Amino acid sequence: MNNTTTEIKAIVSKRLAVYLINNGFDLIDVQPSMVKQGYIVFLFNECPELEHAIDDYASKYSKPKTNNRKGR
């Protein structure tokens, strides 16, 4: 009997999910979000390589935060 459990990573961003799929990660399932009604989450097996790919995505595609306030 095998007692290993696989951790699942839920991804909310469709763009990130597509990026992960295009980079060889298998999409396990798509389910309704348990946190936000009307949203879906994309489920992947969690592993160090997945976390590295998410970090790569964030460094390539996340927008730098800017301060939109005008100085007084």
Q: Which tens digit of pLDDT belongs to each residue from 26-66?
A: 999 999 999 999 999 999 999 999 999 999 999 998 877 66
What is the pTM (predicted TM-score) of this model?
A: 0.78
Cα separation, 23 vs 48, whole angstroms:
14
Residues near 21 by beta carbon (within 8 Å), at least 6 away in sequence: 27
